[in-house]
A and B are shown apart, each in its own frame.
Chain A
Amino acid sequence: MSMNKQEVTTKRQKMEIKVHSLGRVEGDLDVKVAVEDGVVVDAWTEATMFRGFEMILKGKDPQAGLIVTPRICGICGGSHLTKAVYALDTAWSTEVPPNATLIRNIAQAAETIQSIPRWFYALFAIGLTHRNYASSKLYDEVVRRWAPFEGEHYEAGVVVSAKPVEIYAIFGGQWPHSSFMVPGGVVSAPTLSDITRSISILEYYRETWLEKILLGCSVERWLENKTWTDVLAWLDEKPEHRDSDLGLFIRYSMEIGLDKYGAGPGRYLAMGNFFHPQKYRYPTIEGRNVALIARSGVFDGKAYHDFDQARVREDHTHSFYRGGGSFHPFEGVTDPIDPTEGQKEGKYTWAKAPRYDLPGIGEISLEVGPLARQVIAGRPGAEEWQDYDPLFLNIINEIGPSVMVRVLARLHEAAKYYLRMREWLRQIDLHEKFYVKPKELPEGRGFGATEAARGALADWIQIKDGKIENYQVVTPTAWNIGPRDRHGQRGPIETAMIGVPVKNPEDPVELAHIAQSYDSCLVCTVHAYDAKSHKELAKYEVIKI
């Protein structure tokens, strides 16, 4: 103990920074970090807003989740609808005709390929124009392309992001916030021009942005890259590659060090998405994994494991809900308390801490999102209809995860999803069914999951006496920004902050890059406190000792 005291008194370089509103889109996220000698040594993520959707759903019509859950997040509304409908399909044992599965796949992918340019230009890349990097020789080019509102590609990227969701609107009426997926299929029955127009919009997206601006090559050429060495060779292959936005991003990241920090836990979860139209005709919880096109799975840093929803837990020991402990979502409760009361018990956020109970190891935190999906895609043993893609497993083995790698995984998916959407549009049979009317059972339990752009998203529903008995939603943002659990294990973003060098504590743009790389950050409001005068520091030291 005396050693520790010594440490505290000699190190005067300690300070605590509260980064306000490092927000996710729906509400805000504050991140509190302790900085010692210019490096982050501890972190706490604090979600600051509560709306209580799960409480609203209790006692409501079984299909209320189709209307309510998309409104949890306006960015992932289509993903919320997707998993909500599969939760009902499994609870009601519906039949989903192949056409309906194809349209659900297309809609889910459309939302994600919208999000990729919108997130990259409007939310992430503007941070790369920060004056901290003015000495980089690529800085002027970065500003010319990515500066907010004025940047040449900022405008192109934001404008093109509105295109893929036109396809969503053709099948679903509008984006965001349609509820066109219903148990047993979809409400729509497209006509020929709905298909041809969708193909044209998709081609516009590829020609004007995906190949011309992002990749600087064909989708097929980019997807030939299977290793990090391939990516480096691709960079050198042609000036068009090097000078594409992807090429510039990689070169700039390596110059300003985005490949050096923000690794996160190095453990990943994907719940998988997109179903084979024939293999998930009768959706069940047990039959889900094998019917997936983009696979589910857990990677614990060394080995792969099958995903089983029964192993998901939510720990609310440090969250503003009554009591503590860890429950499977079917047993989950949402009982909020006043944060000022909660803080006295060491609670500090509205997010619960999702965990996965790995056999033989226990409950662990896992990163979700594009990087997680692409690492899971590298697992050997895929079925013939499933995605196998070794690139990102190789990249994390070669250079380790980082802010750069996480962003790269996101951009990589634009190419993959484009190809899949083309194929699914081809497969729709206009003369076949889009819906099979289900029997609305008064009792049932369902589980539905998908991959939103930002990661695994799932619902657990219990229906009793023809109404919702319990409804629990576990979002990707919760997986990533969740707090410590009852064992004191940090959440993924908390983990990712540790060890990060902060150049200017009054303007810690590095922390913003990390949070933004998880796509849960839009707003960064920073307050730096002097170590000596700020009371919170004492709290930090107590924790440290």
Chain B
Amino acid sequence: MANLLWMHGGACNGNTQSFLNAEEPTVIDLVTDFGINILYHHSLSMEFGDQVRRLYDQILNDEIPLDIFVVEGTIIQGPNGTGHYDMLMDRPKKDWIWEFAHKAQYVVAIGDCACWGGIPATKPNPSESIGLQYLKGERGGFLGSQFRSKAGLPVINIPGCPAHPDWVTQILVAVATGRVEDVLLDDLQRPQTFFKTFTQTGCTRVQYFEWKEPVEEFGQGTRKGCLFYEQGCRGPMTHSPCNRILWNRQSSKTRAGMPCIGCTEPQFPFFDLAPGTVFKTQKVLGSIPKEVPQGSDPLSYSVHAAMARAVAPKWAKEDMFVP
């Protein structure tokens, strides 16, 4: 039995909604089969009123042990560091989050907002939002870079906007079943088992990437081609298993024809959504992608690309995803 408390800060509830799409296990299986005791979740619990307040007090007084503390949403610090922009029971919510984080065996940040600040922390960051242990790519965040939960781990970051339900449920099951030592974290504190591969890994458009054939335009144009060249797809530069563990058991954005926007990386939304950056590949010298797959550089990439395009087989220029 593992006690779990779920709290939302500056959140859209999208991670909870995503979580509710889970199968194998479903959210209900998680409770009934895996012994995860949800002490309180704002969308799932029946307890309300004084019961919740009492529960919070009992956790903070060490009467109820807190095994897993899950945070969804940013930590809102505005205005001027007061936290008055997000109040819970007449207290800044950030103060509750601080206290629970220091009581928990494990602290899990679910979604970009809790990991790095996400969309609310986009310039000018009106709510002074911050992630639990990062602000965008900068380590530290709300809890500080030295923070360790009681079990000795930093915050476990499960990013994504939203996080995929399986990334969440599998990590919760690992923690609840005593396999947490198998959860290896990368340098952004993300579980490597999910975030070592690229979004592109498993993308159905990868053959077009190989032969450097672009999607010319959205819609009927996506019956062939790769979205990297014109539509700003970040699949080759983004770490996620979106094309290994499909969304809603069916598809992924890139499979459907939408460019990856890099939402598992701390810089999301990229370029702060400046004019000319949405769904458009940033280029140098008019044609060479400014950002190229990790470990490559624009010059060697463009040499490789020119050769690939020159020797591309005929089918690489034809529609593949036909009616």
| A residues lining the B interface (CB < 8 Å) | 19-21, 23, 25-28, 48-53, 55-56, 59-64, 66-68, 71-75, 77, 97, 100, 118, 122-123, 126-127, 129, 148-150, 154-155, 158-159, 161-162, 165-166, 168-180, 182, 184-192, 197, 336-340, 430-431, 433-437, 466-467, 506-508, 512, 522-527
Contacts and interface: CB of A to CB of B under 8 A. Distances in A.
A122 B43 contact: yes
A170 B247 CA distance: 9
Nearest to B323: A430
Contact of B11 (A26, A149, A338): A26
Contacts of A525: 48-50, 52-53, 89
Given A61-B273, A169-B247, A173-B251, A21 B42 contact: yes
Contacts of A118: 20
A192 B323 CA distance: 5
Nearest to A159: B26
Contact of A162 (B78, B127, B129, B248): B248
A174 B247 contact: yes
B219 A159 contact: no
B89 A64 contact: no
B153 interface: no
B82 interface: yes
Contact of B17 (A56, A75, A97, A431): A75
Contact of B13 (A73, A185, A512): A73
A60 B273 contact: yes
B217 A435 contact: yes
* Chain B binding surface SS class: loop
B13 A61 contact: no
Contact of A180 (B78, B129, B258): B258
Contact of B258 (A51, A64, A75, A187): A187
Contact of B161 (A56, A123, A177): A177
A435 B44 contact: no
B84 to A, nearest CB: 5
Question: Which 6 A-B pairs give the minimum distances between C-beta atoms?
Answer: A435-B219, A74-B14, A52-B126, A526-B49, A173-B253, A524-B48
A173 B252 contact: yes
29 contacts: A20-B88, A20-B90, A26-B13, A48-B87, A49-B93, A50-B85, A50-B86, A56-B125, A56-B126, A61-B276, A67-B119, A67-B269, A71-B12, A150-B32, A155-B26, A158-B27, A169-B247, A172-B258, A180-B257, A185-B219, A187-B258, A189-B222, A191-B322, A197-B250, A340-B84, A467-B275, A522-B43, A524-B48, A527-B89
A330 B129 CA distance: 27
B122 interface: yes
Given A51-B85, A179-B258, 10 more contacts: A20-B89, A21-B89, A53-B119, A75-B14, A126-B46, A161-B20, A173-B256, A185-B219, A188-B219, A189-B220
Contacts of B217: 435, 437
Contacts of B222: 187-189
B162 to A, nearest CB: 6
Given A187-B257, A192-B323, A176 B14 contact: yes
B311 interface: no
B316 interface: no
B23 A51 contact: no
Given A49-B86, A56-B124, A178-B258, A435 B45 contact: no
Interface in B1-51: 8, 10-18, 20-23, 26-28, 31-32, 42-46, 48-50
A391 B8 CA distance: 39
Nearest to A434: B219
A207 B250 CA distance: 20
Nearest to A508: B49
Q: Which of A53, A62, A173, A179 has the most CB of B within 10 A?
A: A173
Contact of B85 (A49, A59, A169, A173): A49
B145 interface: no
A55 B43 contact: no
A482 B45 CA distance: 25
A29 to B, nearest CB: 11
Interface string B219-244: 11111000000000000000000100
B84 A62 contact: no
Given A21-B88, A67-B273, A340-B84, A185 B49 contact: no
B255 interface: yes
B321 interface: yes
A162 B126 contact: no
B301 interface: no
A21 B31 CA distance: 24
Contact of B10 (A49, A191, A507): A49
Contacts of B120: 51-53, 56
Contacts of A186: 218-219
Contact of A122 (B44, B269, B321): B44
Given A51-B129, A71-B161, A187-B219, A466 B275 contact: yes
Interface in B132-187: 161-162
Contact of A60 (B84, B219, B275): B275
Contacts of B28: 149, 154-155, 158-159
Contacts of A122: 20, 43-44
Contact of A169 (B76, B251, B321): B251
B314 interface: no
A527 B53 contact: yes
Contacts of B87: 28, 48-49, 339
Contact of B84 (A66, A150, A177, A339): A339
Contacts of B221: 189, 435
A430 B86 CA distance: 48
A176 B44 contact: no
Contacts of B78: 50
B254 interface: yes
A322 to B, nearest CB: 12
B285 interface: no
Given A52-B120, A77-B12, A336-B126, A61 B275 contact: yes
A381 B257 CA distance: 40
B220 A435 contact: yes
Contacts of A23: 42
A511 B24 CA distance: 36
Contact of B162 (A59, A63, A176): A176
B278 interface: yes
Contacts of A190: 323
Nearest to B252: A173
A435 B258 CA distance: 13
Contacts of A433: 219-220
Contacts of B219: 97, 100, 184-189, 433-436
B215 to A, nearest CB: 9
A433 B218 CA distance: 10
A174 B78 CA distance: 32
A272 B218 CA distance: 27
A527 B18 contact: no
B274 interface: yes
A365 B80 CA distance: 34
B323 A431 contact: yes
Nearest to A26: B12
Contacts of B76: 49-51
Nearest to A193: B323
B18 to A, nearest CB: 6
B79 interface: yes
